[in-house]
Amino acid sequence: MRRAYKYAVLTAMIVSTLALALAASAGGLGYALPFPAVRNLAYWYLRTTYNPFMPKFTASAPEAVTAIVWDYRGLDTLFETSVFFLAIIASMALMRGIEVRAPESINLSKYGMSAIVKTVTRITVAIILAASASIALHGQLTPGGGFQGGATAAVAPLVIIVIFSLYFAVGSGIKKKSMLTLRTLGLLGIGVTSFAVIVAGLILGKAAYVFQNQPKEAAPIGLPSHILGVPMGGTLLLFNIFEFLAVAAGFTIVFLLLSVPEESVRKVLEGGEGHD
């Protein structure tokens, strides 16, 4: 009976999907579904993202997505970064009092997987880090940027923890405190970069906006758009580097905390955490 009910629900969902799709493609919505053109706003973004003929409007990055993320809608991304910051801080607050630390006099070679896996991982980690740095640093030229590069780079410590053990990771410098420092540096860099042009404007005696990238009509100042003929996107490159640091280090912290052995966490919890 219950099985028949499940199949009936499944069939009803598939049939209604197909029926709604049929109605929509027959003109039920009033328009065809793959829209024939992008909206005017998107057209404006595509038109101005890298346009040497409109120097007062361009973001000077051939990649429109990065230009939107850190130039046209930079404030959105700043607050997204603060949500990320708060989520990581909240995770760390939940796990407060729990130390990520290797026991003294430990034989690291006993832990982890076999020698073959470890050797392959040594090579792979280098490749992961190189690829993630390339994703982050070429954010203004090719698809990619700080968020994607950082999420890719965070895979490297995760692989190290799984293959070599947590104690090896902590012993080789992937510590909670150092990652926290790195992440704070990244966030600080984002904050400094958003004020970089306004500070330059104050020094040079010109008007400028917060979060400005390229020269605008009433604020004729901006960071260099090209270095050695390669488009750098002004502040976009700096934002990508700092966001890369913040995201990679933030995720490394939570991976470290997630892989703390269950016994030591329970010891802290049963030892009356929060009562002293």
Partner 1 sequence: MIDVNAFLFSVLVFSLIMNLGISLYGIFWRPSLVKKIIALTILGDTANVLAIVVGYRAWIAPNRPPIPPVLTTWKPTAADLSKFSSLAVDPLPQALVLTAVVIGLAVTVFLVFLTIQVYRLHGTTDVRKIAKLKG
Three-point CA angle 230, 231, 236, nearest 5°: 135
- The DSSP code for 39 is -
Contact of 112 with 168, CB cutoff 8 Å:
yes
Question: By CB under 8 A, which span of 78-86, 165-173, 187-195, 213-221 interacts with partner 1?
Answer: 78-86
String of b and e for 164-198 (b: at least 16 CB within 10 Å)? Answer: bbbbbbbeeebbbeebbebbeebbebbeebbebbb
Identify the residue among 6, 8, 11, 25 touching partner 1 (CB under 8 A): 25
Residue 174's nearest CA partner among 187, 191, 161 is: 161
Q: Give the bridge partners for 231, in sequence order.
A: 226
Residue whose CB is less far from partner 1, 91 or 184: 91
Under the criterion CB under 8 A, does residue 50 sit at the interface with partner 1?
yes
Kindly report the length of the chain: 276
Residue whose CB is less far from partner 1, 3 or 110: 3
Subset of 165-184 contacting partner 1 (CB under 8 A): none
Under the criterion CB under 8 A, does residue 267 sit at the interface with partner 1?
no
Identify the residue among 1, 41, 203, 228 touching partner 1 (CB under 8 A): 41
Subset of 87-126 contacting partner 1 (CB under 8 A): 87-88, 90-91, 94-95
Min dist CB 220 to partner 1, Å, is 23
Q: Give the bridge partners for 226, in sequence order.
A: 231
* CB-based contacts of 35, cutoff 8 Å, min separation 6: none
Q: How many residues bind partner 1 (CB under 8 A)?
A: 68
Which residues here bind partner 1, judged by CB under 8 A? 13, 16-18, 20-22, 24-26, 32-39, 41-43, 45-47, 49-53, 62-69, 73, 76-77, 80, 83-84, 87-88, 90-91, 94-95, 142-143, 145, 147-148, 150-151, 229-231, 247, 250-251, 254, 257-258, 265-266, 269
